[in-house]
Amino acid sequence: MNLDIAHYAAAVGAALADLPDDIRAELLEDLPAHLSEVAAEVEAEGGTLEDRLGPPAAYAAELRATLGPSAPPARGARLSALVTEAKGRLRTTDRQIGRIIGYASLSEFGQLLRPAWWVVRGYLAAWILCSVVSAGNGPQGALPRIGDSVVGGLIVTAALIVASVWLGRTASTRVKRWQRVGAGLVSAALVLFGIGLLVTVDDAATRDYSSYQEYPGQWVDASWQGGGNLVVVDSKGQVLTQVSIINLDSESYVDAKIHNCEAILAWEYERWPVLARLCRHQGLYPSESPTDAPTATTSATPSATTTTATPSATATASPSPTR
């Protein structure tokens, strides 16, 4: 009998599903308890709940009637009105924007772009696949790589683009609603990912990495014993000024001349082309006449340190130190 009650109450609740939540909850709150009271009476008199009360739908209709004429309109009705209105507005905007770009509507223009999207989708999928497959095996650039093989990445990319176009051409005709929703979500995620990828690649492309960044890996001078002429660069290849090198083992300054781009003479650039290139990269190459090059910039201003630590864009703003 309890199962009957639960079923009956659930069926009544389902028939009232369009009511606003608070009103519906209020109406149904006591229903199972009430039905079990009724069931006890009905059992005593013989018969089933449904015999006595009629079908749940009829019970629900009667229950709805007790809300009176002031009952708020069904939530479904209000919602569908809102949806209709929003759709109408969207269509208008669609046409208005379309007119600006010379098409009947923006969505018509979008239809034309769909094959292009299929290609981009394939590329993005390939990028994700490649970075998952070769996780940790070298960085991924704009071109997908399998491990560090660009060719492998391109093969994967080509395959996935073909698959994506095929999918776009065949699947667009007969799909279920949930499949369309799912595909839409995946597409939205891909678009977001693609924008993120674009930003990352753009950032990497415009960041002014010095070409000397690879110095440590290429030119490790194992024979260096201390002393000599040195230049100290940071991780971006910026020449640091006002630095000293301390040997921790001997607890003393390394006996070497540490050069920078400021207090330096033209002959020094000539003697050490690497220094010249580093400084030119920072926009600090000396002017034509060697004597014009500043010679006494020993005062350690905080700004000097800041300038060298930031990418060269700031440094180039001042071709020669001001003080």
Binding site for another protein (CB under 8 A): 26-27, 29-31, 33-34, 36-38, 40-41, 52-54, 59-68
Copy the structure tokens of residue 153: 């990445």
User: What does DSSP assign to residue 149?
Assistant: B
Output 29 or 148, the one with its CB closest to another protein: 29
Number of H-type helices and E-type strands within the chain: 14, 4
As measured in angstroms, the least distance from the Cβ of 78 to another protein is 21
Output 23 or 150, the one with its CB closest to another protein: 23
Output 60 or 160, the one with its CB closest to another protein: 60
CB 282 within 8 A of CB 315: yes
Output 39 or 293, the one with its CB closest to another protein: 39
Beta strands in the chain (DSSP E): 229-231, 246-247, 252-253, 257-259
As measured in angstroms, the least distance from the Cβ of 3 to another protein is 15
281 HSE (CA, 13 A, CB side): 20
* 56-65 helix and 2-15 helix, angle to the nearest 10 degrees: 50
As measured in angstroms, the least distance from the Cβ of 27 to another protein is 6
Instruction: Please give the Cα distance from 29 to 35 (Å, whole number).
Output: 11
Longest dimension (CA), the chain: 118
Output 73 or 110, the one with its CB closest to another protein: 73
CB 55 within 8 A of CB 15: no
As measured in angstroms, the least distance from the Cβ of 10 to another protein is 15
As measured in angstroms, the least distance from the Cβ of 7 to another protein is 16
